[in-house]
Each structure stands twice: as structure tokens, then as C-alpha cells.
Structure 1
């Protein structure tokens, strides 16, 4: 497990320390005086809908000069490279790709699932089939889903490149929430889970996140802890402590409000852990010992799954086989439960239970089913709407629930 932690740390920190200049400053001053730097393209300074770009290291000697790579707008000529094709200074802008056509190469909109979802939204908007709480899917520069999605009047949650809901959720408070929700840590965990976890026997422990999916400013590798950037996860400064001799509170970036399970009291050695991580560590040790003694053990059914913030997963199996929804401290949430062998048991995700708990101080909250999932029909201020498993509105709302496409034909929709 330690080697996996090292891998994750190197993955995040690689490329943090570098120099923009490949030669000493004096050479660049002489170079600039004797040879002169060509003026960088104006696109990076203008940065609007028709003129934008990205600052890069200069292709001149020792990177001494400023260099702006322009972004080509949709419909303009571009180059695919190769002998005899000529050179175009710049590349297609975000969300665009260079396409070979009969009359040349042009920047065109990428084909992707996210762009298709946007097209579907735009077509329904044009025909008046968009609900008042529906949001147009956001796509990034590569045509993939943006890192978060917000449900008006409810919460914002992190999502993957494919638009799948990920760990990390906060109450939606407008632009402030969207500006501060970067989800870098949550998305890194998702990539680790998809690329590493299937090939290893034991759970993969990555960097620790905060509840909104950002990087926790304090990260530890074994007993050594250091500070990182909350957005990028890159190590900040040279400060670090050894938990063998110092408590985590001695680290300048330590924030007590982010530590759900503080353990700064007592004497050395100290730790920075959680009940879930300790439970996982204890069970792994037991299973490894059992395997060494010749017993055939099932690792994955015995080891608890810890979320990226080091808390227990929100769905827990009880001693009698049922599933319940729990909070970050493992406490049941309002009695949400599902019995084995039922559809509610198999489809249980507790998304609504967690969302309503976050919205506890608000007056208008979504209605959950008995297993903690979102009720398929939600009503607000005299109008009802269909929602998906993440609580996102699908289609137009109606004052007559029987007109909704998700209406099942009877009054049982109220109870699920």
C-alpha cells in the first residue's frame, strides 16, 4: 500500500519544480539586447471570443522570450501537420478539433458525449421542452464533462470526464460555490480507482480530500506530513513534520475545521487518521495474517471502503443484512434502510439522504425514498418534475403530475 501512496504523491507533484529559463538570466538579457525578441501574438492579451491563446515557453534560445500560442476559432483554417501541408501558427481553440474537408482543414466542434448532451439540451430548449431547474451540461476544452454539476435550489457535486457523479458535494450557493469547487482530488481518486484498483488485491489509499472534492491542505505519506495546494495538490514550500515526534497541528496549513477526527492530544508518536482508515488497516493486517496461515480469505468483502475524505462509505450493511444510509461519522441518517432481496436494496445509493442532510438548515428539501434515493417525482411550489438518480430535473415540470413521463399511472409515486 505504501508503494501506491508513493505513486500517487509522485503523480501529483511531478513537474512542480522547474525553471522557465533554460539558461542563466544574464544570457537572456544579452540575447534580448543583441538579437531581440519577436513580439508575441496579441491573442493572449486580448483574450475574448475571437482572440485568445495560451502562454507557453518560447521556442527561441533558452526560452528567453514571451510566446503566445493563438487559439483558432471555429470555421477557420488549421493544419494537421505532415510533409507539404504548410504550417499554421496556433491550434484549434477549446472544444474544437482540426478536421480535413474537401476544401482544406478547418477547426470544427469536437464530437463527444458531452457535446451531444449539449446539443440535446439546445434542441429541447428550442422546442420549449426544458424544465425550469434543468441546467445545460458544461463541457471542458477537450469536450468532456466539466468537473462539477449544480442542481439549482439543491447542491453541487463533482463529476468525472464521463459525467458520472463522484465524491464531493456542497450546498449550491451560486457563483461562490462554483468558483471554489475544483474537484481535483475527487477526480484523481476516480482515475486511480479505475486504473489501479482493478489490478490490486488491497484497497488503494490516495491523497485525502475535503468534503467538496478539493485537496485537503494537509497530506501525509506514512508518518511524514506536508502542505499542498488545495486546487492542484502540488506540494507548497519545504515545511513538513514527522508524526513520530510532532502532532499534525504543528503544520501551518492544518485546519481543525477540516479534521473530523482530531487526535492531537496525548504523547508521541502521533497520528493523522480516521476510524475508517484504522478499521481498514486492522482488517488488512488480519486478512494477510490469515492468508499466511493458509486460510482462503475474501479481501474485498471484508475490508471497508473509505471515501476520499477518509470517512466510511455512505451505505453500510448492518448485522442483520440490511443496508442503511450513514453520515461522515457512520451514524444512521433518518432511518433510511433497504431489505435484502428487494429492488430498493439493489438500487440503493443514498444520494438523496446525503443531499437532504447537507440541506438540513434549509426549508425546501427534496423528498427521498425509504432507501435514501431520490424520489423519481419531486414537487416544489405547486409544480412537479421528473428527476434522475442524482436529483437532476429531466424534462418540463407540470402542475398535473399525471402528465409527467415518469408518472407510473397510480398514486404510489408518493411512497417509494
Structure 2
């Protein structure tokens, strides 16, 4: 099929993507679409879309205008200018002139629709916040309106990039902003999807930045992955043949593929299954939760002594962090601070002065040098700072912080500090 036929086909697809439900008769005999995309092939800024014409002929990479981009209402836009097509690396990229999912063209700009997406709403809030939320990061949204896998703080030299789910929840995987171009978070996303699907036997191995490690095994199949592009290569083999893969490195795998936590997890599931077969319900004593890199999960709760503690990647206890397993606080224990203070990577080192709580989490309120501010569960600032040495007010400005624990201060007289609450009063005081 020649390029003109291809562009004509994809032009028809682009033009009729939303309205048509059947393939045009003159295209019904075309079974090959040169330049059409497969899932995972679309470059940044484009999303994969199946059955562009309501049929199974072609799938492609499409892009729409993003939030705040200039636009013209569809009713005033000539039909022939509603799209454009460019060829890049053998792919036909379809660019629409109308606004993307979750957006409407209003007053010449792509603005939030009544039913928008969480990412687009967050981007709108970021751009319109007053006063500016300097501690927020600017969300990066995919063309379909969901969160991009990699998000970054805006400080290009000292900031951190991290992995998130499609709804913006932060998950395993982080790196310095200077290494952003190397991050895909593909492994971290896949691990999260499997966990959400209640998979108990996950053995994918993610790098610290959320990318795939070069050699992967899932169930009975092993394969090689390009860590930067997340593309498979070298074919697939059974677990028994995994050392024959081109990405196998005996220095990285001195023994079996499974790491200690994964081996313990597999053994514990076998024990639990055996107990259930004898009428004994599975106990939390027989569980070994692992992180996406195959190491031990930061928190560990024991039914034997009814305690939850923090542990390092090798499974050793960290410090004296402790929560009674029957207490409600056990559900929110993540030991992120304990882990960061125990590790030696660049990001962990940058958080060495952010204080830990008694349960190993980051202490929600951080104070130092006559200022206090809130941090999230990863130790990242989540509020503007307040000054605590104002004459006649002193530490009462802490009442402005949403993270201040109740009964820490007497915040009943709002007239003393309210004017210093640049972000307004926290909801628990309103």
C-alpha cells in the first residue's frame, strides 16, 4: 500500500473517529495499514487508540490539544483542518485540533469540562492557585487525561521524580530530576496493576527508579527487557532455561532468580495452603510481603507479639520504631522515614534532616529555625511554612497547619493568628 493510500486511509480514520461506526465500503477490502501503531509504540504526547473508525482495520497514535491550549469550537472549524498527520519513525501520528478528554473549548481555550479527570483538575488547580503553592509539583497528564507514570518536582537540579498510578497515587520508584529522561516507571506500574488484581505470586523485579530490571520472570516464563524503553527482546524461555537468556548476568544472580523475600513468600503460601487444607485458617504469621524490587516490604506485623515494626530491604529490624498491631495506627504505618534514614542513596541523604515519627513514618509536622511546615508520607513539603517567632503570636501560627495534631496547642482564639494563615484555616478549625 503506498503512502498516499495510507495517509488517505488514516485521514479518513482521523476525520470519522468519533462519528462512524462502520468501515467505508472502499476500505473494507484493505487488510494492512502501513504506519498504524501497536499498543506501546506511541511516542510521548500521543495515546494509543484502537478501531479508530469503529472497525478493526487500523489502530493509531492520536494527540489532542491540552489544558489552556488555544482552540476553535468544532462547529466553526472547517472539516479538513480538524486533524493533521505526520509520519515519524514509520508511524502515522494523528493530531486533532480539538481539545482532549476532560476538556471543552471555551472562550478560545481548552478548559475543564464538567466531568474532568483528576489529573487535569490538579493541573488546573496548580496553574490557578493563589497564593502559588510552591510545594506542589506541576502534574503531567497523558492525552487521555490520566496521570503520566513519571511526575517530577519543579526544581530541575535538586528535585525528585517519582512513579504514580493512573489516578496520581505515588508508588515505588524515584530518582533525581537530572535522570528524568531515563525513567519509565513501567515496572512499578505493572507491579501495582498486578497487586490491584490480587496477584500473590508477583516476581517482577523493578529498579529503584521504577523501570524494569533487564531480566524478568513471571510465573513460569522468563524474558529480557530494555530497562529504558521497556521493550522485550531475546524471546521468552521457561524458568528452567532462564540462565540462557542474553540478559543473564551471573554476578547479578549468584543463585536463583527469586530473592530471599520472594522465596520466603512462596514458602509461606505453601504453608498457608497446607494449613487451610487441614481446616486451619491462614494466619498473618505466614506472610512475607515484598517490595517491587524483590526486597522485604518496609513494615512487618507479627501476630505472635502483636507488634508492627520497620525493617530494611534485607528483612532486619530498623531502630525502635513500633506500633501495637491491634491499634488503628498500624494501618497507616509505612516506615518510609525509617527506611530513608537507613539507606544511603542521594535522595535518602537529602531527607536526613526530616524527622521521623515513633512509628517510622515521616512526622507530619516539621519544625526548625523558627519555621514549621507539613510534609507528606514521603517527606515532601505539603504546605507553606509558618513563622513561629512573631511577637505576641509565637508558636500559635502552627494552628494554621493542616497537619498539626489536635490538642497540641490551644487554637481556640483564632483572632491571634488567623491573619498569618496564608493558605486559610485548616478544615478542622473551620
Select which of 383, 392, 403 maps to 1:395: 383
CA contact (8 A) 1:351 1:390 kept: yes
CA contact (8 A) 2:299 2:310 kept: yes
Tell me the SS of whatever aligns to 2:139. Answer: coil
Choose between structure 1 and 2 for higher RCO, CA contacts under 8 A separated by at least 6 residues.
Answer: 1
The residue number in structure 1 matching 2:71 is 75
Query: 1:145 Cα shift?
Result: 2.4
- Paired residue total: 334
- 1-structure distance, mates of 2:220, 2:9: 50
The residue number in structure 2 matching 1:23 is none
Q: Does 1:112 align with 2:117?
A: yes
CA contact (8 A) 1:154 1:355 kept: no
The residue number in structure 2 matching 1:374 is 362
Specify whether residues 37 and 206 from structure 1 end up closer, same or farther in structure 2 by C-alpha distance, changes over 3 A only.
same
CA contact (8 A) 1:157 1:169 kept: yes
CA contact (8 A) 2:215 2:248 kept: yes
The residue number in structure 2 matching 1:7 is none
Structure 1 residues 57-78: Cα deviation after superposition (integer angstroms, max 9, x where no partner):
xx89643579996745543234
The residue number in structure 1 matching 2:271 is 286
- 2-structure distance, mates of 1:92, 1:206: 43
Tell me the SS of whatever aligns to 2:356. Answer: coil
Query: 1:380 Cα shift?
Result: 6.2
Select which of 192, 199, 203 maps to 2:200: 203
- 2-structure distance, mates of 1:396, 1:88: 44
Q: Does 1:252 align with 2:222?
A: no
TM-score for the superposition, normalised by structure 2 = 0.64
- 2-structure distance, mates of 1:166, 1:363: 18
Specify whether residues 150 and 354 from structure 1 end up closer, same or farther in structure 2 by C-alpha distance, changes over 3 A only.
farther
- 1-structure distance, mates of 2:352, 2:140: 26
Query: 1:330 Cα shift?
Result: 0.9
Query: 1:385 Cα shift?
Result: 1.7
Query: 1:227 Cα shift?
Result: 0.8
Unaligned stretches of 5+ residues in structure 1: 1-27, 42-58, 80-84, 265-270
Structure 1 residues 163-190: Cα deviation after superposition (integer angstroms, max 9, x where no partner):
21212234xx3232x2222211111222
Query: 1:242 Cα shift?
Result: 5.7
Select which of 45, 63, 67 maps to 2:33: 63
Unaligned stretches of 5+ residues in structure 2: 12-26, 37-59, 84-94, 389-394, 411-430
Structure 1 residues 80-124: Cα deviation after superposition (integer angstroms, max 9, x where no partner):
xxxxx99943535675557599x9x99654512222223333333
Select which of 322, 327, 330 maps to 1:337: 322
Specify whether residues 115 and 339 from structure 1 end up closer, same or farther in structure 2 by C-alpha distance, changes over 3 A only.
same
Structure 1 residues 186-243: Cα deviation after superposition (integer angstroms, max 9, x where no partner):
112222222x21xxxx7142533222211121012456532113255442133x6665
Within a 5 Å distance, the mapping from 1:12-411 to structure 2 comes to: 28=1, 31=2, 62-63=32-33, 71=64, 74-78=70-74, 88-89=82-83, 90-91=95-96, 95-96=100-101, 99=104, 108-109=111-112, 111-124=116-129, 127-131=130-134, 133-150=135-152, 155-170=160-175, 173-176=176-179, 178-194=180-196, 196-197=197-198, 203-205=200-202, 207-222=204-219, 224-231=221-228, 233-238=230-235, 244=240, 248=243, 251-254=245-248, 259=252, 262-264=253-255, 271-292=256-277, 294-298=278-282, 302-318=286-302, 319-342=304-327, 344-356=329-341, 357=343, 358=345, 359=347, 361-362=349-350, 364-379=352-367, 383-400=371-388, 402-404=396-398, 405-406=400-401, 407-408=404-405, 410=408
TM-score for the superposition, normalised by structure 1 = 0.65
- 2-structure distance, mates of 1:190, 1:63: 34
The residue number in structure 2 matching 1:21 is none
Tell me the SS of whatever aligns to 2:386. Answer: coil
CA contact (8 A) 2:188 2:292 kept: yes
- 1-structure distance, mates of 2:159, 2:296: 23
CA contact (8 A) 1:274 1:311 kept: yes
- Root mean square deviation, CA, Å: 4.1
Tell me the SS of whatever aligns to 1:368. Answer: coil
